[in-house]
Amino acid sequence: MTTSKVQRMLERAVDEGGVPGILAEYRDGERRWFGSAGMGDTETGRERGPQDRFRIGSITKTFVATVVLQLAAEHALSLDDTVEKWLPGVVRGNGHDGCRVTVRQLLDNTSGIFSYTEDYAALQVRDSYAPLQLVQIALSHPAAFEPGTDWGYSSTNYILAGLLVERVTGRAVADEIAERIVHPLRLAGTYLPRGDDQTISGPHSRHYTKLYLPDPDAEIYDTTELDPTPYWAAGGMISTAEDLNHFFGALLQGRLLPEVQQQAMFATVPTKGWIPGTAYGLGVCSLTLPCGTTVWGMGGAVLGSWSYSYGTRDGRRMLTINTNADWAHGDWDDPIGVFTDVLEAEFGPGDVPKDVA
């Protein structure tokens, strides 16, 4: 198992990129390797460890999409159902119409519904937010495009998907994720926080942010304790590198969904104005690296924590990376540049065929 190239990239991220700490776990079948560089806590100097939990941002969407697809497999809903059927009256106004948006369009980001995360000012008004309040922020803006005519990344889609899961099942989406995915896979460090619980339970590194300011000398803030309500089903979960590798490995191998729903999840559409080289399915995406290799998984970002979890289409080889910061300097504009280089170090030419999709 070759991992020295990944370790060198982690050290570069700290030494040249200025991130406080970074970790990665690589999995090839039953074999695992863990590496880290820098610090998990800049005050104590504690290193990052393999059991560290961290906020996974939009990787949450993959868990929620999997639950929705499981419900579709059970005939509790259809991907072709309208949002209006399950959430009557919720999506209306400013060009938004839940009668014209399907469940599938929520999951693949072709709904045209405005992303509430683009309204930064509205997310500074309250101490915490209910899901419907996040939807209302989105609906106060015009729709981005007609449903099904374009692609646009919108976290509102997954707030609505979370509400839909709760309407269909009569249970909290956190419970559905736990019962359907976390417990069967024994993901000991993975959960969706309840309510406005700002803590990260269990071992974890500190999370640091520069509030996305590009200045290398910008002030650093500790955002380890963070209100999760503005993220919820779109980005609120907490996990570990080991758990994410296990989850995506099982998902890619078809162990969480029947064949029909598996095919639906991995049928992609081109992205637009998002991460270069990507195509988006239902809560997952393919990423073609600059070297030409294609990997599958998802990334996520929240204040003070950025993550990537990608691997080969057969799910055998997985690599999860997390940095406890939302910046990178030197040769990189942000942690995505670091993650891309780490993925290339492990999955680039000489390690796997170019076409592993």
Question: Which residues are known catalytic residues?
Answer: 58
Which two structure tokens, joined as six digits, stand for 143?
């729709």
Asked if residue 336 lies in contact with residue 317, where contact means CB atoms within 8 angstroms, the answer is: no
Which secondary structure element, helix H or strand E, spans residue 15, and what is its range? Answer: helix 4-15
Which residue type does 346 have? E
| Length in residues, the chain | 357
DSSP letters of 59-105?
GHHHHHHHHHHHHHHTTS--TTSBHHHHSTTTSEETTEETTS-BHHH
Between the CA atoms of 155, 158, 159 and 160, what dihedral angle is there, to the nearest 10 degrees? 120
Write the CB contacts of 286 (distance below 8 Å, at least 6 apart in sequence). 268, 278, 279, 294, 295, 296, 357
Which one, of 30, 26, 19, lies nearest residue 3 by Cα?
26
197 neighbors 84 (Cβ within 8 angstroms): no
Q: Is 151:280 a contact under the CB 8 Å cutoff?
A: yes
